[in-house]
Amino acid sequence: MQPLDGITVVSLEQAVAAPFATRQLADLGARVIKVERPGGDFAREYDRAAKGQSAYFVWCNRGKESVVLDLKDDTDRALFDRILAEADVFVQNLAPGAADRLGLGARELGEKHPRLIRCGISGYGDTGPYTRKKAFDLLVQCETGLVSLTGTPDTPARAGISIADIAAGMYAYTGVLTALYERERTGKGTAFDVSMLDALGEWLGQPLFHGLYGPAPLGRSGARHPSISPYGHYRAGDGGQVFLSVQSDRDWVALCERVLERPELVRDPRFADNPLRHRNDAELTAILEEHFAAHGSDELLERLDAAGIANARLRSVAEFADHPQLAARERWREFDTPSGPLRGLLPPVTVHGREALMGAVPALGAHTDAVRAEFS
């Protein structure tokens, strides 16, 4: 028994945001019918990294049924309407205005199907001057100011993952769960919208408030924290980089006394609190790296652990795949794809006594004939 057994989700989706949201629902047992246009979701063609398949697509489309329909064709549209009449949830992230032109706007669907939950994902929202502006992840990162915060002081950088898509997808996912809970009490489906701009803007809360009310906006700081010190990477004696984070005065005392072995620094007026430590970060970095020069990376990590100081080693993505913590906790599973099995991580929420679903990634149109027969 899975939490969403018996729930049917119909999704007119493409790229990342909506597919990421509906994959979470599939992992919880929902039947997700992914309706693709002739030619398929263009994310299928983003790359060939995963055994000849798009890494984006296999990541976001596990456990779904792929049905190819041309919604401008009368026969296909009639079939789609019959499927939707039996659905619990409808999700779409079509181009701006496309859902309304197809007669699939939230209000119209609500009148036809009062119990249907309707979720629309957009780049910039349904009103305002940017409503019809095309939106992709990097572009939304730019519009929210995220790119002004990432990179080095000299060069801005894109966040290394599709963070605007992921943010919107997660709010869509939680919105669907909330709407399902509400429908249990009211008997009626609700409609809601999620924009990538709003979702990523929520995640930018700390720098936003800092910029609104602080003495100056936060700048780009590379792999260092823009407002906490010491927090970032420091050179060890073997040339490696050790990452550490001091979050409180208690941590600062432990670092000075147990790692640096310089208790006099605790009351040094340059470093008496975090704002002062951050203001004098260059001097503090020099002190840390002078001491660290006599020690190798592994030794420093052990000493930091012993002192209770949060720390990490910088890993590549390939090294993360071999992370001993993932192996010890048996977080890897295989799931099927058209090109053979792939290895993937279990969903992050671990429910005791239940094995999460990790269904197959569908080939384009793999379920079209079966769904046509079912809803004929």
Q: Which residues are catalytic?
A: 225
Sheet containing 31-36: give its strands across. 64-68, 31-36, 8-12, 89-92, 117-122, 191-195
Best CA proximity match to 174, nearest among 98, 108, 117: 117
**Both structure tokens of 244:** 């550490």
Torsion of CA 184, 185, 186, 187, to 10 degrees: 30
Phi, psi of 276 (to 5 degrees): -70, -40
Q: What is the Cα–Cα distance from 52 to 368, expressed in whole angstroms?
A: 23
CB 9 within 8 A of CB 30: yes
Torsion of CA 317, 318, 321, 324, to 10 degrees: -100
Phi, psi of 202 (to 5 degrees): -60, -40
- Half-sphere CA count of 94, side-chain side, radius 13 A: 20
- Strand 89-92 relative to strand 64-68, pairing: unpaired
Best CA proximity match to 193, nearest among 172, 170, 210: 172
Burial of 264 (0-12, 13-18, 19+ CB in 10 A): exposed
Torsion of CA 156, 160, 164, 166, to 10 degrees: -170
CB 339 within 8 A of CB 52: yes
Between vectors from CA 73 to CA 72 and to CA 76, what angle results, nearest 5°?
A: 110
> How many Cβ atoms are within 10 Å of 374's Cβ, its own excluded?
12
From residue 40, alpha-carbon distances to 9, 54, 70, 202, 340 in Å are: 18, 13, 11, 32, 20
